[in-house]
Amino acid sequence: MTRVIVVVGPTSVGKTKMGVELAKALNGEIISGDSMQIYKDMNIGTAKVTTSEMEGIPHHCIDILEPTCAYSVKDFQDAVRFWIDDITARGKTPIIVGGTGLYIKAALYDYKFSETEDNHDMFRKKYKDYDNEQLYNYLFSIDEMSAKELHPNNRQRVLRAIEIYEQTGRKKSEIVDEQQHICLYDAYFVGLTLQRDLLYERINQRVDLMKAAGLEREIRQLYNQGLKRTHQSMKAIGYKEWFDYFEGNISKDEVYELIKKHSRQYAKRQYTWFKNQFDVHWYNVDLQKFSNTVQAVLQDIQE
């Protein structure tokens, strides 16, 4: 079974650096497990790895699409599995680094998708006059189990569950239950963690650094190119908060406070997801001497 190293954890915890250090030690290449770093011209807000941070290590699934393009979980699954095979065939170690739990699980586990992935636009138009509550109630009436697992305001995933039912005549929950949730690879999950107050402090600092680096300029350029809040890429934290500012509804200070707040909330959700979905080996990050954390991980991986 193909060996894969997977570095997970909340935003701002040090996954990028850990991935590079492991790749140097294990003759590896990195596959991004971030659903937004696939987009070009979205560098600051996604905290995309820089050329200098890569330290010569090849990185894949980064900067592959224009921000106007849609990208499905199935697209990600196909890309990651391709790179795992390619990297392994060249005698190297594939290392997935990222925080988008659903994407990573779909790539590594026996997730199968129906053939309705390209019909999202049609379904959005079909139900455009439904508010979130009406849409959720409709899903509840046809697939109660799937509805119970979703937030009523998660319109995209509610629509997806409805789409599966209407296209296949089967409930999404039934299809999921048939999958055995077996990992297809010999995966070692490295989870990085920090005390919550330290993590939140790092998240706030990162947003301040994004501000100093020109986040507003980056999002303005995208906005001027015609990107709207409805584009998939613009639903990313760090980008979606700006549209209310551009429309004159909130101040710039409020934008940055919202980015910090949403990032902290996202970090909390990431922890919950990884703890519930993967067999993660957790490591407390040594902020004073990161090499200590790297050595602890390498020692366990190489045992």
Whether the full predicted model's pTM is greater than 0.75, yes or no, is yes
pLDDT at site 178: 67
pLDDT at 26 over 90: yes
Sorted by sequence, the CB contacts under 8 Å of residue 234 that are 6+ apart come out as: 67, 222, 227, 228, 240, 243
Closest alpha carbon to 20 in 60, 63, 57: 57
pLDDT at site 48: 96
Sorted by sequence, the CB contacts under 8 Å of residue 292 that are 6+ apart come out as: 286
Q: How far is CA 23 from CA 38, 43, 101, 286, in A?
A: 20, 22, 21, 19
What phi and psi values does residue 146 have, to the nearest 5 degrees? -65, -40
**Which comes out higher in pLDDT, residue 70 or 80?**
80
DSSP classification of residue 281? E
pLDDT at site 50: 95
Q: What is the pLDDT of residues 223-264, one digit of tens each?
A: 999 999 989 999 999 999 999 999 999 999 999 999 999 999
DSSP classification of residue 48? P
User: Which of the four pLDDT bands, split at 50, 70 and 90, describes residue 181?
Assistant: confident
User: Angle CA(126)–CA(131)–CA(134) in degrees, nearest 5?
Assistant: 90
- Alpha helices by DSSP H, listed for 118-251, are 120-126, 132-142, 144-148, 155-168, 172-178, 196-213, 215-224, 242-246
User: Which of the four pLDDT bands, split at 50, 70 and 90, describes residue 153?
Assistant: confident
> What is d(CA 271, CA 66) in angstroms, rounded to the nearest whole number?
30
User: Which of the four pLDDT bands, split at 50, 70 and 90, describes residue 148?
Assistant: confident
User: Which of the four pLDDT bands, split at 50, 70 and 90, describes residue 16?
Assistant: very high
β-strand pairing of 93-97 with 3-8: parallel
Give the chain's domains with CATH numbers.
3-111+181-301 (3.40.50.300), 117-178 (1.10.20.140)
**Which comes out higher in pLDDT, residue 113 or 273?**
273
Q: What is the mean pLDDT of residues 213-231?
A: 96
Q: How far is CA 214 from CA 42, 207, 221, in A?
A: 11, 11, 11
Q: What is the pLDDT of residues 160-178, one digit of tens each?
A: 888 888 877 888 777 766 6
**Which comes out higher in pLDDT, residue 292 or 101?**
292
